[in-house]
Amino acid sequence: MEIIVRFKSFFSVSNLIVFAMMIVSYMAMIYLSAAFFMVGNIAILWLGNGIAIALFLVCSPKRWIPLALGIVAAYFIGVYTHFGSFEFSQIGFLLANVLSVMLAVIVFTYLCKEPITFIDLRQNILFLTVLCMLSALFNVIIGAGALWFIAGIRPELSNSLIWFVGNTVSIFASTLTAFHIFRSIKDKTLSLRIDKQQLFELAVMCASTLLILVGVFGREHYNKFTVSLIFLLFPVAMWVALRFNHYITSTWITIVFLTCGFYSTVKLGPFIFMFNDLSYAIFYMQIYIFAACSTALLIGTINTEKETKTQMIAQLNKQLDDLTKIDPLTNIANRRKYDESIKIALAAANSEGTPLTLIAIDIDYFKLFNDEYGHLAGDDCLISVANVISQNLLRANDIVARMGGEEFFCILPDTDSKAAIKVMQKIQASITALNIPHKVSPIAPYLTVSMGACTGALSDNIDAMRLYKMADIALYSAKEQGRNTFSTVKYSEALV
């Protein structure tokens, strides 16, 4: 029964999908490599392994066996259909490709415990050393050993070195771009957010890259001066790394490698001028492009990490600043936040000509409440009152602040006296609905509040201190009327 369950699980729809994706992707890379990057019987860019590594990294380990079988099927079908036959010696290359990819991915995932994104320095260093170099080394060792055992062919050291470099740059050229594409498809997040300035800069960068690739690597060279133009690639590489995200950088690297690889295949470019042997010309071209692009990748990653940390520090500083403006007991604004908010509200009122209302609220006989029920009950009472007031301030720019003890102030921008009265009525009704016992209150058996409001208009040339004092006068008037009520005063009235 267990065997049947495992059999059905292995041939599940999801496993068949990743199996099919590997076949299609790997075969496409075989045809691309064979069509554009063949020098004799050797592909100077073998892109299939980079695509395979990307799929392995995107999929969970339980999908790795179907992926490995997909490489086997794709390699056999691709080689047979493109070259017309599948020689027995090809088994050595097949083993080298499958095992080198799997071993490198296993080592990489073991060393890289955190989620794989390739946007931090450690992961990119592991990418270069493990996925690119170690995978290429596995490929050479397994492939050379298999060829020696199967066909009796013993590769020379120089050929093995060329083999190693070719595999390294092939994986480097294709893995990152494929990883970002596959992960975006899996997560359904394939989107690039670029503003107009970045779009213009991206267009200029693409034009500069095109000029260098066509003008330097895409033509024949006849003197040493034009050969030196290869160093123009370095500043462009730094530009890409420092100004664009990892997705664009990896895509740029892929385009550079594919273009230079194709030009070298058709015997164009500065390295063809420098070396009579085509194999060595391609070998040093690959090393040069790898050095330029890997340096740019690492520098860009360091820059991205620095920007990320700067943004994180700024965010933490903002959160810390926000905490200093919050009353720790009631979680509403404190006096510092009130001072900041009243300045903003005054500036808006005076510039836009809208009214500004300030409401002062005081809990009636709070000292008696504390003495009777204790300070813990008093704290709960303050929290409940603060929540009720906040719930009755519906607009985003309305502010309630605890000014100390049992006193609260509400800043209501663009609010006239009539609207202020409605707000106070709602607050008073909501406080009554709480029905908090206050048996020692001289005016009611439950908790009550007194409120005073002052509204200033454009013609009053509103001042923050005067508005505060007038609201306090209105509050005092409500208390004189017996408390559990509210009162309003005009901003223009004389101070008492």
Residues 452-470: tens digit of each pLDDT: 999 988 777 788 898 999 9
Query: Taking each helix axis from N to C terminus, what angle separates 64-83 and 48-58, rounded to the nearest 10 degrees?
Result: 160
Q: What is the mean pLDDT of residues 416-435?
A: 92
Please indicate, yes or no, whether residues 301 and 437 belong to a single structural domain of this protein.
Answer: no
Distance (Å, whole) CA 57 – CA 52: 9
Closest CA to 254 of 213, 225, 299: 213
Residues 203 and 277 in one domain: yes
Q: Tell whether the model's pLDDT for residue 120 goes beyond 90.
A: no
| 157-187 residue pLDDT tens | 778 888 899 999 999 999 999 999 999 888 8
Predicted pLDDT of residue 151: 67
Give the per-residue pLDDT at 7. Answer: 45
Residue 279 sits in the same domain as residue 396: no
Contacts of 137 (CB under 8 A, 6+ apart): 164
How many distinct structural domains can be found in the chain?
2
Low-confidence winner among 152-161, 324-333, 352-361 (lowest mean pLDDT): 152-161
Residue 330 lies in a domain: no
- DSSP code of residue 487: E
- More confident: 496 or 283: 283
Tell me the percentage of the chain whose pLDDT exceeds 90: 49
Q: Is 262 a member of any domain?
A: yes
The Cα–Cα gap between 342 and 340 comes to 6
Q: What is the DSSP letter of 411?
A: E
pLDDT at res. 305: 84
Eight-class DSSP state of 478: H
Mean pLDDT of the chain: 87
**Cβ-based neighbour number of residue 167 at 10 Å:** 26
Q: Which domain holds residue 179?
A: 2-317
Q: Cα(153)–Cα(142) distance, rounded to whole angstroms?
A: 13
Confidence of residue 198 (pLDDT cuts 50, 70, 90): confident
239 part of a folded domain = yes
pLDDT at residue 1, rounded to an integer: 46
Q: Determine the Cα–Cα distance for residues 492 and 197; give it in Å rounded to an integer.
A: 51
Domain termination site, one of 267, 288, 317: 317
CA–CA distance, 252 with 243 (Å, rounded to integer)? 12
Q: What is the pairing mode between strands 449-456 and 486-490? A: parallel
The arithmetic mean of pLDDT across residues 123-143, rounded, is 93
Same domain, 165 and 308: yes
pLDDT in tens, 364-391: 999 999 989 998 999 999 999 999 999 9
What CATH number does the domain containing 437 carry?
3.30.70.270
Q: Classify residue 8 by burial, with Cβ atoms within 10 Å: 0-12, 13-18, 19+.
A: exposed
pLDDT value at residue 35: 85
- In this structure, how many other beta carbons lie within 10 angstroms of the beta carbon of residue 77? 15
326 located within any domain: no
Q: 252, 248, 269, 249: which is closest to 260 by C-alpha?
A: 269
Residues 151 and 67 in one domain: yes
Provide the pLDDT for residue 2. Answer: 44
Residue 27: both structure tokens together: 């075969």
Q: pLDDT: is 140 or 79 the higher one?
A: 140
Q: Is the pTM of this model over 0.85?
A: no
Q: What's residue 191's pLDDT?
A: 57
Which of these, 281, 290, 401, lies nearest to 345 by C-alpha position? 401
pLDDT of residue 4: 45
Among the ranges given (196-210, 337-351, 375-389, 451-465), the one the predictor scored with the smallest mean pLDDT? 451-465
| 479 and 412 part of one domain | yes
Residue 38 and residue 178 in one domain:
yes
Q: Decide if 300 contacts 292 (C-beta within 8 A).
A: no
